[in-house]
Structure 1
Amino acid sequence: MMPNKLNSNKIPLLLTVVITVITAVTATGDYVRPPPRKTLHFPWDSKLSSQPQQVHISLAGDKHIRVTWTTSDSSSPSLVEYGTSPGEYTYRGHGDTTSYSYLLYNSGTIHHTVIGPLDHNTVYYYRCGGQGPELSFKTPPSELPVTFAVAGDLGQTGWTKSTLDHIDLCEYDLHLLPGDLSYADYIQSRWDTWGNLVQPLASARPWMVTQGNHEKENIPFFKDGFESFNARWKMPYEESGSTSNLYYSFEVAGAHVVMLGSYTDYDENSDQYNWLKADLSSVDREKTPWLLALFHVPWYNSNNAHQGEGDKMMEAMEPLLYAAGVDIVFAGHVHAYERTKRVYNGKSDPCGAVHVTIGDGGNKEGLQSKYKDPSPEWSVFREASFGHGELKLVNSTHAFWSWHRNDDDEPVRSDEVWITSLTSSQCVAKEREEARETFWLP
């Protein structure tokens, strides 16, 4: 028996249907994502053992900066020379060192030196360890406006480099990173290569980071978690009254920023919870009208990935953030981008925070492109693409947020919104007033 043949009269009709479908899909404006990029590989480094490497800076209290770097030579001094003119080092700061061992790996000598007091909005030239190269950084302004670059889940892939290149084009004052830095994942030499990868940016503007799951690196009964992270990326936890490098706060210009730990205890009896309550109670909204929070695991997430992982932390801590009037929350973990309306307790609330998931910096695991359908009523914009965000706190009442997709190596602004601060909105929701009374927040 001869096989059935497609009726030739039906071929034009079939082609018309196919073309119509393709046109309809194209007309939706859906972004076609470029393919993944490989993990970067770094050549052997022949720098002298005393040569500073992996230089990065962070805020260390009012008018002070912590400079961190690594050397192979343990006798290299923890000295930072600095001044406001190239090659003229009027001031000197001395710090301390640490190191750690991890299985067969021994870290270099990690230097932490706090310098200051420094003038605001000023370029300083500096060198570490008494020898070159000369680097420079700019201190943040003392008052608004101030601009943050925001990108989480960075890693060290080709997309990471694209993200960093785009951030380098941004006129920003400091970088916020809500967890998952190097993706070393137990291979400690990857911390070293990542430190050198980010040095051009991290040595020029303060990087304020919190931990993600890829920083844990614990080995049961043998190694506690976060040893590498805590040794290499010391944040101002002591300056903010915290007992752990995994959660702290800092102030810059007109913002109070709370950095929380998704992977340390957060229930109502925990040290982190009690510290957070005390920290939020001390915030002066006249001085810092903007209140921001960062942690790794998102509480509001309509992506299929990592559903429910932040629920317990949200149950414990969201009432505190709501009572204090947190304006914007940044999280990572989900390798995609999403922005919400102001939300609280699982639904839109004019007195809640805007939640932004921005775990799309360039990690090796790729993007997570499947979302819940239909979209929750609180979700405004969502897309699985690599990129970074920029938050400009323009004045005490208004901020401009934009998300920039890495499109063919060009930073394409794909989402943007003006946000009004809660201090200026006269938010009087009954639920928030009850929460403030419950937690005795001013």
Structure 2
Amino acid sequence: MMDSKLVLVVVLALLVVSASSKYVRPPPRKTLHFPWDPKPSSYPQQVHISLAGAKHIRITWVTSDRYSPSIVEYGTSSKNYTSTARGENTSYKYLLYRSGTIHHTVIGPLHDDTLYFYRCGREGPEFQLKTPPSQFPVTFSVAGDLGQTEWTKTTLAHIDQCKYDVHLLPGDLSYADYIQHRWDTFGELLQPLASRRPWMVTQGNHEMENIPFLKDGFLPYNSRWKMPYSESNSTSNLYYSFDVAGVHVIMLGSYADYDKYSDQYRWLKADLSKVNRRRTPWLLVLFHMPWYNSNEAHQGEGDEMMETMEPLLHAACVDIVFAGHVHAYERSKRVFNGRSDRCGAVHITIGDGGNKEGLAHEYKEPQPGWSVFREASFGHGEFKIMNSTHALWRWHRNDDDQRVTSDQVWIISLFGSGCLLKKNGELRKILVEP
């Protein structure tokens, strides 16, 4: 049972009135420039980690030596590596650019909530990572549309203060935009954080790098950011799912086919049919293009995907939907089909990580009834799930160069709310539709 103070906080949070912040933002900042830093050809660079199934972590790094082994040594004591794992590697060509050797090695099984020390390719520095917990509480940091500006650097510094277990990124990573070495500098920028905690990502429009005669428009993204699609029975790196503690997270592809006859839609139905809300009482979904957006930017771009998939997510009683694309922040009430709905999802737009294109300043007036809070500032989110029913969401504005909490609310999950029972028949009907 919750104590009376927590009940009061929850009630007050749920009564927050709609608001548009009048915060006056500082001016834009420049794109970061990275000095040339020559390293030995076998030296591991751009190290990042991601979840790779239960009790397993995928470690990814790049070397300029194509013969460097895809081996990770690891253990629970510094420089005392008790286990070794061998993985795979790849590389790609893109016009006149040729990538380094990109290594992907899965280690495990690992203990939950445990610090590990590891070394890539048998040389270079020692890194350390912490595995997520197996039970509540668990904390996610959330920020999309990162890029490589001085605002990005501020965002990353503030995320580092978050004490998060997993980072969620709803698309638009490097803003390489065909300039392939920007993928390399992005990897170096993220390494201090992404080598220590799992980063789980999905694609945005800036990951699409289509040129004539290149079949895979997501070639750089798919080569560098390998997600656990095989573990979730998805055949695409553009959409997948995973579990953390008592949370099931679904990453959808705004730029993969999503109509009712698409592989992604069929996969989503199959994935939702396996969700056990007693084991994972929280259900989160991420994709790039927001469905609920009162900003003037990117109006209506997510409407087709919403028309197809929102009934499915509503029937499954999804708790939270995170999106990016719009370079601003916005949080909704629980909503479905454009109206407040106690069994709908809370939609949060958080495409404000620090991109080079700047902020989306203009909002539509009057503010829609479903919109609770909106502000055009750079920032990041912190989602701390305390137990099977209660979680604290905070959005921290980064524009002050300090980590300032600008929006926060307690969110009660739909687990145990009566919505699951109410929607059970509706979900079963959708799942059996051809």
* Same-fold status (TM-score > 0.5): yes
2:430 is matched with which residue?
439
Answer yes or no: is 1:119 the counterpart of 2:111.
Answer: yes
Please report the RMSD computed on the Cα atoms of aligned residues, expressed in angstroms.
1.3
Give the superposition deviation at 1:132: 2.1
State TM-score, norm by structure 1.
0.92
Given candidates 414, 419, 427, the residue that maps to 1:427 is: 419
Amino acid at match of 1:380: V
Deviations 1:21-72 (A, max 9, x none): xxxxxxx972110110000000112111110000000000000000000000
1:60 is matched with which residue?
52
1:337-348 equivalences under 5 Å are: 337-348=329-340
Give the superposition deviation at 1:424: 2.2
Contact 1:319 1:435 in 2 (8 A): no
Give secondary structure in 1 for the equivalent of 2:266: helix
Structure-2 separation of matches of 1:226 and 1:356: 26
Structure 1 ranges of 4+ moved more than 4 A = none
1:154 is matched with which residue?
146
Amino acid at match of 1:345: N
Give the superposition deviation at 1:435: 2.9
1:21 is matched with which residue?
none
Deviations 1:130-156 (A, max 9, x none): 012000000000011100000000000
Structure-1 separation of matches of 2:293 and 2:359: 15
2:120 is matched with which residue?
128
2:133 is matched with which residue?
141
Structure 2 unmatched ranges of 5 or more: 1-19
* Identity of matched residues, %: 74
1:235 is matched with which residue?
227
Structure-2 separation of matches of 1:410 and 1:98: 40
2:13 is matched with which residue?
none
Give the superposition deviation at 1:390: 0.3
Deviations 1:283-333 (A, max 9, x none): 010100000000000000000000010000001111111111100000000
Given candidates 408, 411, 415, the residue that maps to 2:403 is: 411
Larger Rg: 1
Structure-1 separation of matches of 2:426 and 2:401: 45
Contact 2:333 2:370 in 1 (8 A): yes
Structure-2 separation of matches of 1:427 and 1:435: 11
Give secondary structure in 1 for the equivalent of 2:232: coil
Higher relative contact order (CA 8 A, sep 6+): 2
How many correspondences in the alignment? 413
2:7 is matched with which residue?
none
Deviations 1:330-365 (A, max 9, x none): 000000000000001111100000000000000000
Contact 1:51 1:71 in 2 (8 A): yes
Contact 1:59 1:236 in 2 (8 A): yes
Answer yes or no: is 1:295 the counterpart of 2:295.
Answer: no
1:248-263 equivalences under 5 Å are: 248-263=240-255
Contact 1:179 1:211 in 2 (8 A): yes
Given candidates 165, 168, 173, the residue that maps to 1:176 is: 168
Structure 1 unmatched ranges of 5 or more: 1-27
Contact 1:405 1:412 in 2 (8 A): yes
Given candidates 295, 305, 328, the residue that maps to 1:313 is: 305
Structure-1 separation of matches of 2:417 and 2:22: 35
Answer yes or no: is 1:93 the counterpart of 2:89.
Answer: no
Give secondary structure in 1 for the equivalent of 2:306: helix
Contact 1:56 1:202 in 2 (8 A): yes
Structure-2 separation of matches of 1:410 and 1:175: 20
Answer yes or no: is 1:379 the counterpart of 2:379.
Answer: no
Give secondary structure in 1 for the equivalent of 2:173: coil
Contact 1:160 1:361 in 2 (8 A): yes
The change in CA–CA distance for 1:103 and 1:223 in structure 2 (over 3 A counts) is farther
Contact 1:322 1:435 in 2 (8 A): no
Give the superposition deviation at 1:221: 3.4
Contact 1:351 1:429 in 2 (8 A): no
Give secondary structure in 2 for the equivalent of 1:330: strand
Contact 1:388 1:403 in 2 (8 A): yes
1:216 is matched with which residue?
208
Amino acid at match of 2:409: V
Deviations 1:108-137 (A, max 9, x none): 000000000000000000010001200000
Answer yes or no: is 1:356 the counterpart of 2:344.
Answer: no
1:268 is matched with which residue?
260
1:333 is matched with which residue?
325
Contact 1:148 1:391 in 2 (8 A): yes
Amino acid at match of 1:255: V
State TM-score, norm by structure 2.
0.93
Given candidates 254, 278, 281, the residue that maps to 1:286 is: 278
The change in CA–CA distance for 1:29 and 1:435 in structure 2 (over 3 A counts) is closer
Give the superposition deviation at 1:434: 5.7
Give secondary structure in 2 for the equivalent of 1:239: helix
Give the superposition deviation at 1:224: 2.6
Give the superposition deviation at 1:425: 1.5
The change in CA–CA distance for 1:335 and 1:264 in structure 2 (over 3 A counts) is same
Contact 2:258 2:308 in 1 (8 A): yes
136-145 vs 221-230, which moves further: 221-230
